[in-house]
Amino acid sequence: MNRAKPKVTFFVLFVLLAFALLAGVAIGPVRIPFGKSLLILTNELPWLNFSGLPDNFQTIIFELRLPRVLTGLLVGSSLALSGTVMQGIFRNPLATPYILGVASGGSAGAATVVVLGFTSNFALPIGALIGALTAVTVVYRISWSRGSSSSYTLILAGVALSSLFSAVTTALIFIAGPYEQHRVLFWMMGGLWRSSWPLFKILLPIVTLGTGIILAWSRDLNALALGESAAAHLGVRPETVKKTLLGLATTITAVSVAAAGSIGFVGLVIPHIMRMILGPDHRILLPAAALGGGVFLIYTDVMAKTIMQPVEMPVGVITAFFGAPFFLYLLRKKIVGGRMR
């Protein structure tokens, strides 16, 4: 076994996370000296009170960077965790969190809201959430018509419904005016620029609860990965496991999509990277993927914010730009080493 020890990996991941959180708060388009950022952060603690810190630095760190970095953590870990669950359940390396139509449903929902002319701050996320959940519900309804369902039916229904919803989005973009087109396209590119405390407060309980339950079911996912009949022999009810895990994974994906649009790549590649490092045991893989996804998204978002400043890049561009080569490198290393699995 040439696999990394889980303890070491988790230690490294936690260190990376700590640095990511610091980087997310301290680095941005506006240069704030690192010491000042720390002062501003600690200033919120009740027993400390420094005075004379510039007001606008406080706004930047508290209203913009802190909610953004925490939202990035939740979104990144949701996507990577759902990706791992999907790949495990469907036993398909190409499965992503969006395979059951969450992303295209979300886009169609967001586009509808924009074209109907709703402009409040929460209109887009709510529209996206409704769209995402509608898409997934329809996929489940179709696939689970007779009490059970094969993975193929689910995937095919997801793909078909995705194209239907994409067509709806395209049609809406086509009939919309230039300003509306703009808003929809920006939303579809995905990004964490919409993050705010109210949004984070909605996201936090849903993602924490969903993640907690998924992690608690990791042993059942291991059984399911052996195949449905084998799982049944081990005393696991495959339909229940599938329904629960898919339901939770799509829920946390849907809220992530509502908060940040459809950010690509994290949900596909982070699970694979973690599996290459740690092996296929979901009891270790699931928490590692969740951590890795969060860390990855925070770092890439820091790059998205700063690489072309004062202009902001869509973070999806950065995730693919840095994630893909790294993934290819790992893939090659493993194939050359003769250990793909």
Partner 1 sequence: MKRFSSLLLITILLGLAVVNFGYAEATRTVTDSLDRQVSLSGNPERVVTTIPSTTEIALDLGLDERLVGVSDLTKYLSYVPKLQAKADKTEKVGKFKLSMEKIAALNPDLIIVDGVAQKDVVSKLEDLDTTVYAVGGKDIDEVSEAILELGYLTGTKDRAQEIVGQMAYKKFQLRGAVRELEEKKTTLYTLSERMYTVGENTLVGQVLELAGLDNVFSDLSGYKPVSTEKIIQRNPELIIATEISGLSVESLKNEVGLKGVKAIKEENILLLSRDEDSMINQRGTKIVDGAINLFERVYDKEVNL
What CA dihedral angle connects 291, 293, 295 and 298, to 10 degrees?
-140
Neighbours of 324 (CB within 10 A): 13
Interatomic CA distance for residues 173 and 185, integer angstroms: 8
Shortest distance, position 92 Cβ to partner 1, whole Å = 35
Q: 14 vs 34, which CB is nearer to partner 1? A: 34
Q: 8 vs 175, which CB is nearer to partner 1? A: 175
Q: 49 vs 55, which CB is nearer to partner 1? A: 55
Interatomic CA distance for residues 160 and 156, integer angstroms: 6
Binding interface with partner 1 (CB under 8 A): 28-30, 55-56, 59-60, 63-65, 67, 114, 117, 119-121, 177-180, 182-183, 186, 193-196, 305, 309-312
In angstroms, what CA-CA distances link 316 with 159, 178, 191, 319? 21, 23, 7, 5
Shortest distance, position 97 Cβ to partner 1, whole Å = 24
Shortest distance, position 67 Cβ to partner 1, whole Å = 8
Interatomic CA distance for residues 144 and 153, integer angstroms: 9
Shortest distance, position 162 Cβ to partner 1, whole Å = 25
Q: 132 vs 192, which CB is nearer to partner 1? A: 192
Shortest distance, position 244 Cβ to partner 1, whole Å = 35
Neighbour-count burial for 185-194, b at 16+ CB within 10 Å, e otherwise: ebbbbbbbbb
Q: 92 vs 181, which CB is nearer to partner 1? A: 181
Q: 62 vs 144, which CB is nearer to partner 1? A: 62
Shortest distance, position 57 Cβ to partner 1, whole Å = 9
Signed CA dihedral, 166, 171, 174, 175: sign only: negative
Q: 44 vs 63, which CB is nearer to partner 1? A: 63
Shortest distance, position 55 Cβ to partner 1, whole Å = 6
Q: 166 vs 306, which CB is nearer to partner 1? A: 306
The tokens describing 77, both together, are 């870990």
Closest CA relative to residue 329, chosen from 269, 263, 253, 289: 269
* Tokens 């049609």, residue located: 171
Shortest distance, position 302 Cβ to partner 1, whole Å = 12
In angstroms, what CA-CA distances link 151 with 99, 115, 144? 11, 35, 11
312: three-class secondary structure by DSSP: coil
Shortest distance, position 58 Cβ to partner 1, whole Å = 8
Q: 59 vs 150, which CB is nearer to partner 1? A: 59
Interatomic CA distance for residues 94 and 92, integer angstroms: 5
In angstroms, what CA-CA distances link 286 with 28, 211, 235, 248? 31, 9, 22, 14
Please tell me whether the peptide bond between 310 and the residue prior to it is cis, using omega within 30 degrees of 0: yes
